[in-house]
Amino acid sequence: MCRALSVAWWCVVLLLLWVVSGPPVQAAGAPSVSAQAAVVYEPQSGTLLYRKEADTKRPMASTTKLMTALLAAERLSPETTVRVPAKAVPVEGTQIGLAAGDTVTVRDLLAGLLLASGNDAANALALLMAPTMADFADRMNEKARSLGMSHSVFVTPSGLDEGEHGASARDMAVLGAAVLEQPVLAELCAATTATVTVAGRRMTLTNHNKLLRLVDGCVGLKTGFTRQAGRCLVSAVRRDGITLIAVTLHAPDDWDDHAALYDYAFSQVRQEALPSVSPAVCPVAGGTRSSVPLTCRLPSHGILLAGEALTARVYLPAFVWAEVSQGQVLGEVRYTAGDRLICAVPLQAAQTVPARPQPSFWTLVWRRLGQLMDGLLT
């Protein structure tokens, strides 16, 4: 009897642990997806509107090329003409037909990378930025850390499976948001076709991302597939001024998954204008002025979830010491919805406030002597 009660007790404990540690329950109406891992990400506030195994590291195939493209956009001029390094070809998997020594612009390599998913283009860009693939992987991982991608390891520039190469769905959404901030990459990811020239040969590339034609407002980003990773997809959709990013890893029905995820996620968000706030000045101690006017550049709108109310709060010190430089950040305005941070806007000094000139030692001595003489005479 006691043993039966003990077994029943442990069953209850295990059930409770499963409930507490199990995957988060989605809001009512959230779709069921084929993906083993999935997120929908709102980049302005960093909010996940949908999650399934969001922080589990998995192979992500050619969606890796978003990192290669991001580094290239930051380090190489798009209009520069380069020669394809011999070590970049040949390579297994999808290619755009590069040969060692071919002349091509960085922009056209990026088009081959993002639209046609050329592994040869990925290798060429990598070797233009680093002496070896291992060195380039180090740069990829350094960039990942700077973006806060804490569940990612990059080994190859193309996404071919090797070693610990993999990333979480949340991390890939963060990467997608960074890619969209680069104008040349945002333009290419949204293009259905692109004409490129390689060593005088012109070719038209077709974007592998069918969501550009299937989903209203789709503006990118990148497909991927290997046998180990399965079908992977990072996409972005912009509707009514709101941009959302969806990621699915190992998703047999990724096109349908993304369409359903966006229908759900856009029903959960709305735009709201951000109100201006005061104070307009910050007190200054030891300066030629007693205060300095403040300025800030507010986003026009914040993204709120259904049922949320927007609040704003100013964070400033009681005073700052001079000298204050124009543009110096003195505080911030935080816009929140409950415990969720919508955005934080820096408050900057609108002008310079020099420090008051300090009297010399002898000036202070004579001033003190004068005070003593005044005391003796009165």
Residues taking part in catalysis: 62, 65, 117
**294 contacts 348 by C-beta, under 8 angstroms:** yes
What CA–CA distance (Å, rounded) separates 218 from 243? 9
| Element holding 295 (H helix, E strand) | strand 291-295
Nearest to 84 by CA among 197, 208, 246: 197
Alpha helices in 130-267 (DSSP H): 133-147, 169-180, 183-190, 211-214, 254-266
CA torsion sign for 79, 83, 88, 91 is positive
Alpha helices in 149-253 (DSSP H): 169-180, 183-190, 211-214
**99 contacts 189 by C-beta, under 8 angstroms:** no
Tokens read off for 260: 């359903």
**300 contacts 274 by C-beta, under 8 angstroms:** yes
Peptide bond just before 43 cis, omega within 30 deg: no
Instruction: Give the CA distances from residue 240 to residues 44, 259, 283, 335, in Å, rounded to whole numbers and listed in that order.
Output: 15, 17, 40, 21
159-182 core/surface letters (b: 16 or more CB in 10 A; e: else): bbeeeebbbbbbbbbbbbbbbbeb
**199 contacts 104 by C-beta, under 8 angstroms:** yes
Pairing assessment for the beta strands 281-285 and 320-321 based on DSSP bridges: parallel
What CA–CA distance (Å, rounded) separates 196 from 99? 15
